[in-house]
Amino acid sequence: PSSAGSFLQTASASGVSMTLERRATMHTKVGSALRGDNPKMAYFGTITVGSPPQDFVVVFDTGSGNLIVPGTECESEACKSHKQYNMVKSEAAKRINCDGSMVTDQADEITITFGTGKVTGQCIQDKICIGSACSTGAFISSLEESSNPFDSFTFDGVLGLALPMMAQSNMFSVMSRMQGEALLRQPLFSVFLSESDHEVSEVTFGAIKHEHMASDLFWVNVSGIAGYWEVLIEDVTIGGKRQNICKDCRVAVDTGTSQLAGPSEVVGQLTSALNVKENCDNYDSLPELGFIVGGRVLTMEKEHYVDKGYKEARRSCSMALMSLDIPPPTGPIFIFGIPFLQKYYTVYDPVNSRVGFAVAKHQGSTPSVLLSATDLDRPARGGSFLAAAAARK
């Protein structure tokens, strides 16, 4: 079919790359207003649905499983303030059940929760295009959206890129459709998020772009069963020292969340240990915060975990690590959102159920050294362990 051909033609070169736009946001996907005076960055791209195509600005979200866009039948303000999909105007559209099966009597509906908000929608099969790559797939067209948080979102919808088990069925999963028809050179996708407007952010389907990497790529197996791209945290470090406060924690790598988040108990321990002064007096001396994942130390500097702003015309600093308690069996879990993904280039491999990490290469900045966990335990001679690790590089 022609739709498969367009996928194949694009993928046969270097993968299907979608340029992402940076925008400021004051809300997270989990439905909580961001703390502090400074908005966070979020990244969006344009896809089309229907024939002829209808454009939608979506967040490419590794923390959810389905494509969701507002429908014209939705009367919620959250829908009407965004682009709405019109099924009547698409030649290829047809209603399906939300398990992917064909409708024999009356089609069902589905309700999906997003933190404090929810979406109720009908399920539709239609032509879906990511750039020049098009295929027939299934998605959710909203019939109702809660005002919190969707009313304030600066994008129309969400393109879920979680593991296929989080989608309603393989028809709803972008990667399942591509993989099932062998349409990509490699059945994976990768994400590079810029730190400024001087470089291009992109999500690439079917290829790993080594030009975005400032270190070797290492792989970590997915540890959960819920469909998140989650991996084990072996421990947390502060200033290169193990803290023994988060043994065998889990973290989900989530391109759809603008913050870092974690279980309130652990976040409280980290807040006490880091002791960020509200008046920013100790900002310049704050240490690196690290997470040991797959035997490597993934570090974040103070600009990643501290919100700086002004309160009553005075400088103000606070932890940018949000408390988020998700009950078992999905939680407790950390969320690594945009601040982490700006520093690390990530690759998502659904076939082998693993995530790849590398230090991202950004224009005009010196990348940090990717340390092995064994570097933390090996006493340095004639200098700090950081200097020793740099020398080994």
Instruction: Tell me, yes or no, if 254 is annotated catalytic.
Output: yes
| Phi, psi of 356, rounded to the nearest 5 degrees | -105, 140
| Phi, psi of 136, rounded to the nearest 5 degrees | -90, 125
What amino acid is encoded at 148 in this protein? N
DSSP 8-class letter at 350: T
d(CA 100, CA 283): 52
CA torsion sign for 168, 89, 19, 23 is negative
Instruction: Tell me, yes or no, if 61 is annotated catalytic.
Output: yes
d(CA 44, CA 354): 24
Measure CA 99 to chain center: 25
Instruction: Please say whether the beta carbons of 230 and 272 come within 8 A.
Output: no
Options 235, 254, 307, 349, the catalytic residue? 254
Q: Centre a 10 Å sphere on the Cβ of residue 147 and count the other Cβ atoms it contains.
A: 12
- For residue 37 the two structure tokens come to 């005076």
Measure CA 183 to chain center: 23
Which residues carry out catalysis? 61, 254
